[in-house]
Structure 1
Amino acid sequence: MSKYHKHAAHIISNGIFKYDFYRDQVAEARDLNEIELACHYFEFGQYRGISPSGEFDPEYYLRVNPDLRGVEDPTLHYVENGKREGRSSSLAAHLIAEELDELAIEEGLIPQPDLAPSDPDYLHALAVALRMLDRDPNYFSGRYYFSRYPDIEGQPLHPLIHYLKYGRHEGRVTNVSLMENIYVNAELIDKNRPNILVGVHESSTTGAPIVGMDLAKELISSHNVIFVSLRDGPLTEIAKSYFPVVMVASHSDDDNYFFIDYIMDNHPVVDSIFSSTACVPFIRPFSSTQCKITCLVHEFLEYMIYARSVIYLCDLLVFSSRQLLKSWQYMLEDLDRDPATIMVLPQPTASTNVRAMPKAEARAAVSAATGLDLEGATLVLGAGHIQIRKGTDIFLQIGNQLRREEGKFVVVWIGQQISEFDMAFGVWLHAQMERSRDSEGALSVHFEPSGPLYPVLMDAADIFLVTSRLDPLPNVALDAAVRDVPVIAFSGATGLADLADHGEMDLIEVEIGAIDEVVAAIKSRLGLKS
């Protein structure tokens, strides 16, 4: 007879030991009868952290009761003293005692137990469900929670209890909330193809994100594309229809380590392409994987200085124009970047907004939609989100000057509007607008909200102005170029000169901020009198 026979009989009689519950966890002892299995628990199971039932967990018992450190037999201590003292004995029992079990289930932190709370064996069913913790990434991981928040590690409180009682009110993140940002379509995964990661800094349908999306589409014929965006948006839904794995990551390194671990554990990649240096919050932790990283550089260093670490984090830097490379050159030299790992690859003037209607028809449509009189007028167009970098204030000054010139000019800006209470730019632009009205209260520029009129205005335009202070390769200028609309931009403020050198754009560059030169260029290009 085993020396543990007496103890075994005791925990069986008082319900602390459940035969089926323990037997499911010990494959090597499944042929033992109940008393033999309970003896197995005392001799081996409790020291391996295996629970005899939902009521008691030896590892949990010692963890949340630090004063018992050094106790040789936690089960006997619980039977003889702990239960009477009201000590917390298992995570399942603790959740029920604190009335947190249903909350944990509702928030998707733990699986739904097989039994209802009213069932006498609910405690044990809940403990079985809790076995998925730290095993299935779709449920709560204490390991992740501790690694993310080392300030709570070592506390005599289970991480799930901490999160439910405190963490969720403090804004702490769990792996479960992060998993909600991962979308997998297993039907699109081809196991015979390599995986590649394509990253964009946001899911807008403009600029660098579209470049990233186009690259990813090109790759799906040869790769399983893991598409990662650092911010959610309309492009995310589009991506889900093309790629087997779509992920909305974060600007937090801590969050991104989780996403990267998920990728490398489930869809390991050896190559990656990022469409913007603004992806640096993901590139930084991703560089620890030793995967090859290619980064497309579409931004001037002056406003992306925070992303300069891409210089030593990435294996290949691809600049979209010589002007952009010039902006970064001093930093590349300071950080001793190998010139062989740098290249310039101009972005082609491909566009999804090619001319859809004849110019005369488009002008009539613009007049009908806006009330603007375009008869015999020169339509000068600008476009983009109203902000200081786009130089919308300079565009307004040009409109004011054209109003004083001979000839008929209609000047239009289309793009997302800005609040008059925005202290960064809106207040000042609206003040400028109000002080620019003529005696009849009219502005020299018609501001049109972004929307479906954009391609029609492009079709109708005579001249397109890029008044940006710094704007690498504005897509709106590319849209103008494919329509053969002349583009006027500030010298050194864009990378459009490369396209012009290749005959892909009718470009006129003038000194930055030189309104008189812009006006002269408009008149010269259209054969108007100065």
Structure 2
Amino acid sequence: MSDDTRAPPDLAAIWREFAGAPGARRPDFRFDPDFYGHRYADVAGEPDPAARARHFADVGEAEGRNPTLYRETAGDFPHLDEVVAYLVRDPRLKAAIAGGVPGAAELTFELMALGDPVDRQVADFSVQHYRTVSPDLATAPDIALFLHYVKFGHREGRPVLARLRRNVTEGARAFDPARRTVIVATHEFSATGAPMVALDLARRAADTFNVVVLGLRRASGELVERFAEVAVAVAVTERPFEEWAYLDPGPLDHADFAVLNSVECFPLVKALVAREVPFVSYVHEFTNYTLPAYKCVVTALYAERVLFSSETVRRSWAGVLADAGFDVDRDSAIVPQDVLVPAAVPEDEYRAARSRLEGLIGTAIGDRRVVYGAGQVHWRKGTDIFAMLAAGARRTDPDTIFVWIGDGLDHEDFHVGVWVEKHLADGGVNDPAGNLFFLPAGPYYRDVCRAADVLFLSSRLDPLPNVVFDAARFGCGVVLFAGASGFDDARYLAEPIMWRVPFGDLAAAAGTIAAIPVKTLKDGAFAVRPDAAPEGTAGAASGDMSGTPSGRAAGAAPEAAAVFDRIVGDLEARLAASAPPAGDGAYDVGILYGPSDPPGLRARERRTVWRHGRRAVWQSRAEAEGAVAASGNWVHRTLRIAPYREMLPAGLPPYRIHVHAYYTDAFAGDLSRHAAYRHAERVVATTDTEEKADGLEAAGRAAGVAVEARLVPNRGRDVLPFLALFDGGGDGTGDDNDIWCHVHLKRSVGLGPTSPGEVWRAFLMRILLGGPERLSSALALVRRPEIGLVTAFDPYILGWTGSRRLLAALQARMDRGDGERWDGAPADGGPAGMDRTLPDHPLLFPMGNMFWAKTGTVRAMKRLFGPDYPWPGEPLPGDGTVFHLIERLWPAAAALSGRDSVFLDKPDEPRV
């Protein structure tokens, strides 16, 4: 018999407590007069709720009618009570459901069905939250959303408030209102490099601040409890902007500033800017593998300061920072997360570690050289390179042993594991008679460090891996590739334990390793360079490859304290020196926030960017004109901005329109929306199939427009089909002053007219072609002899982005005069040999690659690349190809042909 004699809760009283005004019309949760009247037509005309209740008691119950939504749903869905039990939050209702109290599940369900805010008070469910995290259901009524989750969403594993709240861990520290509050963000909670740095920052911050830790995902979750030891709270959400408001009110809303440790924390930026919480980003990642690239762009635009762990990492960000107009000297700094401290291993620890390593790998070591690599098995870490080096050393250095320690070797992983397994197997891995051994990460990591002589950092790109700091503390030498990690910085290479070899040069790496001495004994301790090792033993390892607390568990390391103090000091100085811009600008567009977000948020994010003096959106046409005028670059001197106007078709010069139509479904609508098609001398449409070509010509006949459809390969996006029109013997035989308009239908089938891409295209088409009766003034401008290009002025500011990687090769072609020589006079009348250096930022170009151009401009573009340029084929990445580069080069092509470029400004045309 149970000893629990507590009386069951008064369910009717709980209903009255939460139901409020609805309770006056509906005193009993077991009967809903509105539901009953809506479901059954014979009582729908009876307005009195009491009369409806009597009808149910007298007639409906006997007929099996449902008195509530709960009863109806339970009849169709037998697992309803299980879902309710999962969601219930109110402790009285939770206990009642667990104890099998009749009606408890029904009461909870009916309370949740009341919607906001009752649902989130009694349960871990909010209909508004569910709408936010389920955008495919955004237009559904509240009650339909609630029923969707009960019947389908729970089974589908859709996120609800329950998941969010169960990912909040109460911290060991109490919130102190007298202290400032800092958010320390980590992208995950695994015991790996960046999260360990975040943990050290949180520990130091806890000395003087309330610390709230925000993470995007738990991953292994190893560090959650360790963060909680120094925090007020630890919260995990992949949707910080959407879910911030649904976290229970608390310290998070008191945040004074934030530290985003890792660029992977970029989703938090949207939430922080919305709440005007300033933040510093501490970046450890190279841009090469930080994809999509907008992660880096968002970081560069909105952070008060960006701190980099090494100069090598900051160099990889140079293009992103230049595109954003980021002041590198003012707003960035190099702040390593640790200090390289060469030390030595006490003799007894060294000998014990060598003995244990012998047992782990099953072979005698003796005085042989031991080379190790460490980290997750991955191409970035160069695990395959390590294996290849060991294979070569079997011939050149047979006495050396190679040991890799790390997790992630999955022989069923097609992307990495299958191929690394091949390397290891062919290298005779874990053969006692061989030289290559693999150990999964475990508690013996420090024994490997103590026993080894050399760490070979085989990484292709690795910011500042903690294993190098560990290697130094344990008296090892380190061999690394040039330009492959932050340890290629001068501050580290000056250490005598560091050896650098050319990138990917295995022969140089093997020769260097063979020349490094094994650890030798001096003053009771072993080290590769005992003359460089200070007295005493090796420090605690900063890495933690065992899942057990590292040597730092007692508190933040001194270097971490210095990092956090530096962050706070720099942030305060930056905030004190910045001044807010005046006004919200002429263009209501955003980057973080879209049309469905409040306009105030878009204005707030623009002001944040402008306060930093960075580039994302032009504040006005005048600002753009000032930026162009301030540049002395030869391309920028040919750029002009003019207001958009419309004109009647009378007196037009002959012109041609080229439309590339890989997608054809919008073409018929374009013909009716833009009179320019009807007045064109020719309309040439390129596409890739006979069926599409027939459809384009048929659409032209229906609109009274003669369309010349041409078949082209699906190659080169819309750029190559347009340039191909000007090949020898084709349309390019005309005069340099012939006028062409180039547009395209880059629309994914199925997207509606309000999709962002289609709205942008409509913006461009209206400015370039005008409307159904009048034409754009672009045509009047491009006919002028001094104009070679006319396009839309876009309120967004876009740099070279990924195509910057191609600039050096293009500049070399220009400097050498590859292809045909320039035969047009320089735009400024200068000498033929004038400087043709491309600008560091394009400032203005035809975004979307749609424009009016003279044939001379197109020919200049073709000469830039020459007749035999090796154009890449499909499929193509989303940015960084030569075709993205060409989009940015049209003003340069116009300038090379001796003509100017004009950008038409139409502020009232919706851009998003």
Q: TM-score when scaled to structure 2?
A: 0.48
Specify the alignment match of 2:274 in structure 1.
Answer: 288
* Counterpart code for 2:132: S
* Closer, same or farther: CA 72–223 of 1 in aligned 2, 3 Å: farther
Shift of 1:292: 1.1
* Residue 133 of structure 1: how far off its partner (Å): 3.2
Report the TM-score, using the length of structure 1 for normalisation. 0.79
Give 1:141's aligned residue: 126
Q: Is the 8 A contact 2:455 2:468 kept in 1?
A: yes
User: Quick one: percent identity of the two aligned structures?
Assistant: 25
> Which amino acid is 1:464 matched to?
L
Are residue 299 (structure 1) and residue 285 (structure 2) matched? yes
Which residue of structure 2 lines up, in the alignment, with residue 348 of structure 1?
A: 338
The aligned residue for residue 49 of structure 2 is: 75
Per-residue deviation, residues 101-133 of structure 1 (Å, max 9, x unmatched)? 632442133545459777589966875787773
- Please list the CA deviations of residues 438-475 of structure 1 after superposition, one character each: whole Å capped at 9, or x if unmatched: 9x995431112211221111112211110100011111
Looking at structure 2, the residues matched to 328 and 229 of structure 1 have their Cα atoms a distance apart, in angstroms, of 24
Q: Aligned match of 2:222 in 224, 234, 248?
A: 234
Q: Does 1:311 align with 2:300?
A: yes
Q: Residue 197 of structure 1: CA displacement?
A: 1.1
AA in 1 matched with 2:198 = G
**What is the rounded CA distance, in whole Å, between the counterparts of 1:508 and 1:182 in structure 2?**
45
Change (3 A) 1:217 1:350: farther
Which is worse superposed, 49-58 or 324-333? Answer: 49-58
CA distance in 1, matches of 2:100, 2:425: 66
- Residue type of the alignment partner of 1:146: R
Aligned-partner Cα distance in 1 for 2:72–2:25: 17
Q: CA deviation at 1:149?
A: 2.9
Deviation at 1:408, TM superposition (A): 2.2
Partner of 2:792: none
Relative to structure 2, which stretch is displaced further, 452-461 or 492-501? 492-501
User: Could you say which residue in structure 2 is the equivalent of 1:488?
Assistant: 479
Match of 1:305, SS state, is coil
Pick one of 439, 457, 460 that aligns with 1:466: 457
Per-residue deviation, 1:420: 2.5
429-438 or 462-471, which deviates more:
429-438
User: Bigger shift: 197-206 or 486-495?
Assistant: 197-206
- Find the counterpart in structure 2 of residue 249 from structure 1: 237
| Counterpart residue number, 1:397 | 388
Mapping of residues 260-279 of structure 1, within 5 Å = 261-262=246-247, 267-268=252-253, 269-279=255-265
> SS at the partner of 1:140?
coil
* Cα 1:263–1:465 shift into 2, 3 Å: farther
Aligned-CA RMSD value: 3.9
Pairs within 5 Å for 1:15-414: 45=21, 51-57=26-32, 73=47, 75=49, 78=52, 90-91=68-69, 94=72, 102-109=81-88, 111=90, 113=93, 133-136=118-121, 139-150=124-135, 151=137, 153-155=139-141, 157-185=143-171, 188-232=174-218, 233-250=221-238, 253=239, 257-259=242-244, 261-262=246-247, 267-268=252-253, 269-306=255-292, 307-308=295-296, 309-339=298-328, 340-349=330-339, 355=345, 358-405=349-396, 408-414=399-405
Contact 1:378 1:410 (C-alpha < 8 Å) held by counterparts: yes
Q: Secondary structure at the match of 2:422?
A: helix
Q: CA deviation at 1:506?
A: 2.2
- Residue 513 of structure 1 aligns with an amino acid whose one-letter code is G
Provide the residue aligned with 2:879 in structure 1.
none
Instruction: From the superposition, tell whether residues 90 and 296 of structure 1 become closer, same or farther in structure 2 (CA, over 3 Å).
Output: same
Alpha-carbon distance between aligned partners in 2 of 1:204 and 1:321, rounded to the nearest angstrom: 23
Instruction: Output the amino acid matched with 2:375.
Output: G
Taking structure 1 as reference, are residues 328 and 448 closer, same or farther at Cα in structure 2, changes over 3 Å only?
Answer: same
Task: Quote the offset at 1:341 in angstroms.
Answer: 1.9
Deviating more after overlay: 479-488 vs 95-104 = 95-104
Q: In 2, are the aligned partners of 1:487 and 1:505 still within 8 Å (CA)?
A: no
Question: What residue identity is the alignment partner of 2:337?
Answer: Q
Shift of 1:314: 2.3
Give the letter for the 1:240 counterpart: A
Instruction: Return the offset for 1:316.
Output: 1.8
The question of whether the paired residues in 1 share the 8 Å contact of 2:428 and 2:436 is answered with no
Contact conserved, 1:196 with 1:225, CA < 8 A, in 2?
yes
User: Is the CA contact (8 Å cut-off) linking 1:287 and 1:314 kept in structure 2?
Assistant: no
CA deviation string 1:369-417 (max 9, x = no partner): 3333222311111111111111111112211222212562122111125
CA displacement, residues 294-325 of structure 1 (integer Å, 9 cap, x when unaligned): 11110110000322222223222110000000
Residue 55 of structure 1 deviates from its aligned partner by: 3.7
Distance 2:28 2:402 in 1: 77
Letter in 1 for 2:505: A
1:75 CA drift (Å): 3.0
Partner Cα separation in structure 1 for residue 13 and residue 356 of structure 2: 76
Structure 1 partner of 2:747: none
Pair 503,512 (structure 1): closer, same or farther in 2 beyond 3 Å? closer
Letter in 1 for 2:227: A
Deviation larger for 461-470 or 76-85: 76-85
Counterpart-to-counterpart distance in 2, 1:432 and 1:120: 64
Q: What SS is found at the alignment partner of 2:489? A: helix
Change (3 A) 1:501 1:367: closer
- Hey, what's the Cα distance between the residues in 2 that align with 1:182 and 1:412? 40
Query: What is the Cα deviation at residue 195 of structure 1?
Result: 2.1
Secondary structure, counterpart of 1:469 in structure 2:
coil
Moved more, 213-222 or 355-364: 355-364
The match for 1:37 is: none
**CA–CA distance in 2 between the matches of 1:125 and 1:262?**
21
Q: Contact 1:66–1:156 at 8 Å: present in 2 too?
A: no
For residues 246-304 of structure 1, the C-alpha deviation after alignment (integer angstroms, 9 at most, x for no partner) is 12222xx3x65214652766531121112111122333444322211211110110000
CA contact (8 A) 1:54 1:93 kept: no
Could you tell me whether the CA contact under 8 Å between 2:389 and 2:506 is conserved in 1? yes
Pair 120,373 (structure 1): closer, same or farther in 2 beyond 3 Å: closer
Contact 1:183 1:240 (C-alpha < 8 Å) held by counterparts: yes
Kindly indicate whether the alpha-carbon contact (under 8 Å) linking 2:84 and 2:105 is maintained by their aligned counterparts in 1. no
- Greater CA drift, 134-143 or 325-334: 134-143
On the 8 A contact 1:380/1:463 being kept in 2, the answer is yes
Across the two proteins, how many residue pairs are aligned to each other? 486
The Cα of 1:329 is off from its aligned counterpart by: 0.4
Supply the distance in 2 between the matched residues of 1:375 and 1:395 (Cα, whole angstroms): 22
Tell me the distance in 2 between the aligned counterparts of 1:60 and 1:270.
48
C-alpha deviations, 1:169-188, integer Å up to 9, x for none? 23322111221111124763
What is the rounded CA distance, in whole Å, between the counterparts of 1:149 and 1:119 in structure 2?
33
Query: 2:237–2:243: 8 Å Cα contact kept in structure 1?
Result: no
- Corresponding letter in the other structure for 1:515: L
Indicate whether 1:429 and 2:420 are aligned: yes
* C-alpha distance in structure 1 between counterparts of 2:471 and 2:437, whole Å: 19
Change (3 A) 1:442 1:278: farther
Per the alignment, do residues 326 and 441 of structure 1 end up closer, same or farther by CA in structure 2, a change over 3 Å counting? same
Equivalent in the alignment of 2:666: none
